[in-house]
Every structure is written in structure tokens, then in C-alpha cells.
Amino acid sequence: MRTIQLAAALTLSALAALAGCAAQTNHVADAEETDEQGNAISLNADQLVAGWNLQAGSKTLGFGHLALKSDGTYFTETVVTCIKYPCPSLREEGTWHSTSFDKKLEGSLSLHPTGHASRKYTVSLASDGSGMKLGRSSVIAYFDKVLNYCDDSSDCPGQKIYALGLLCRVGQSYHTVCDPSAHMCQAKCMDSAPCQVSGCGVYCGTDTKVCNKLLTKGTAQCYADVGHCGRDVAGKCGWLDQERIDACLVSVH
């Protein structure tokens, strides 16, 4: 009989409780913003920590997916058909702050994209928590709420996940990984051995290898700057964001 160990046995309600506790230690903006009603936009409201997908037929504010994380970071994505490589970057990342939604369904959200000017939105949450309206410059966009949103496992930290009664065998441990086909972060039992990167920066596995291939500085820099070495949804070590690495390699060569 195999020996098993309890790696994690979290219920969704317990996970939500943990996220709620974390939300109480709200991140405070460096310079306090206010909305038109004078309410401070300085929190990371737990009610907004989720994935948000643009509803079919809705007007757009420039992105089709929005992931707001409990650590105060976010990313947006716009899904388009790319007919010429390399595709333009359609992902935006940065930090976010909001007003409090503890006692009301309406408030404000401010996105601070890295390297660009901040944008402020009006927010109206659905009474059943299933969606929200975002408004900016007289444009209203409608979003459906999902627990989380991801392209690869490096997107999952800071997002809520389902973790129901996980029992992991000896030699395995609890991992949060992204299922790219469903764009969903999930909890799985996987090999406990950490994924490691070789000195040359292009090999990601459970052990390190000597790199005999001469690499240009740009190639090594791309892996260092945008690469995330970790386990995919199948539990295999590898680069979790190869598309972004490939785009970087094209730009430096």
C-alpha cells in the first residue's frame, strides 16, 4: 500500500477566507487618487480579485480579458487573429487600485500600466457577483466574472483557485498550474523536485545541464527577462511562456 501524505486539503471556502484576510492588508497607492465623489482609490478590493471576460456583443475598452490579482498587479489581453509574425504585444501589465466595495456595488478602478499613463474607470458590480460594468470616456463595457484567467502558470500567483481535498503521494506536492486550453489556474499534485535553469539560461528541467552552445547576449537576455521556468499542466518542467520568449528573440535578432 502506497504511503500518502497530506500536501494540501483546502476547501474553496477556506481559500476564499485566506484571500479575504489578505485583502484586509490592502496595498496603498504611493499618491492617493480619488474618484469624482472624493472616494480614495487606494485599495485592492477583494470583490474585484478575479478574471473578467468581455461579454459577447459588448463594446470594448481595448481589452477582452482582465485579471486583477490580490497582490495589486494585473494584466489585460486582447484576442485577435495574427496573420503576420511576429504578432504585436497584446498584453498589458501593471498595478491596480480601487475604491472600497464592502458596502456598495459601485465605485472606481484605476489601472497603472507599466511604462504608460494610468487610466481610471467607473465600476458597477452585478448584485449576484456574476459580472461588472466598466466605464470610461462614455464607453460602457460588460464583463463576466470567472475565478481566474491565465495563459501559463506564471500568471497564477495572486489569483484565486479551486483546491478541494487534495491528497498527494510521497514525492509529490501541491502546485498551482495553468490549463492553457481553458485559461484556468488549478491545483494539482505534481513531482516535488524543483524545476531548475542551467547557467546558459535556455534549459529548464529537474536538473541542470552544461550549455555547450554559444549564445548571443540577446538570446540569454530574452530568457532572463521574460522567461519563467516551471511545471506545465502536465507536470513537465519547461518554459511556461515560450510565445513571449519567441517574440523577444525575434526583436533582438
- Domain membership of residue 151 (yes or no) is no
- Domain membership of residue 165 (yes or no) is no
Residue 84 has pLDDT above 70, yes or no: no
| Residues 199-219, mean pLDDT to the nearest whole number | 80
Could you report the per-residue pLDDT of 98-128, keeping only the tens digit for each? 999 999 999 999 999 999 999 999 999 999 9
- Domain membership of residue 5 (yes or no) is no
Q: Which segments within 204-250 are labelled E, that is strand?
A: 204-205, 229-231, 237-239
- Domain membership of residue 179 (yes or no) is no
Query: How much is the mean pLDDT over the chain?
Result: 83
Same domain, 134 and 211: no
pLDDT score at 144: 98
Could you report the per-residue pLDDT of 14-39, keeping only the tens digit for each? 333 334 434 444 444 455 788 877 88
Domain-terminating residue out of 90, 112, 146: 146
Same domain, 19 and 104: yes
- Domain membership of residue 181 (yes or no) is no
Same domain, 126 and 218: no
* Phi and psi at residue 242, to the nearest 5°: -60, -30
- State the pLDDT confidence band at 93, using cuts at 50, 70 and 90: very high
Question: What is the distance between the alpha carbons of residues 204 and 232, in angstroms, rounded to a whole number?
Answer: 12
- State the pLDDT confidence band at 89, using cuts at 50, 70 and 90: low
Same domain, 96 and 203: no
Number of domains in the chain: 2
Residue 205 has pLDDT above 50, yes or no: yes
| Residues 214-220, mean pLDDT to the nearest whole number | 79
Could you report the per-residue pLDDT of 181-195, keeping only the tens digit for each? 899 999 989 999 999
Same domain, 19 and 134: yes
The one-character DSSP state at 43 is B
Which residue range(s) make up the domain with 208? 193-253
Same domain, 127 and 207: no
Question: What is the distance between the alpha carbons of residues 179 and 231, in angstroms, rounded to a whole number?
Answer: 11
How many CA atoms are closer than 13 Å to the CA of 135, on its beta-carbon side?
11
- Domain membership of residue 188 (yes or no) is no
Same domain, 133 and 207: no
- Domain membership of residue 166 (yes or no) is no
Residue 143 has pLDDT above 60, yes or no: yes
- Domain membership of residue 204 (yes or no) is yes
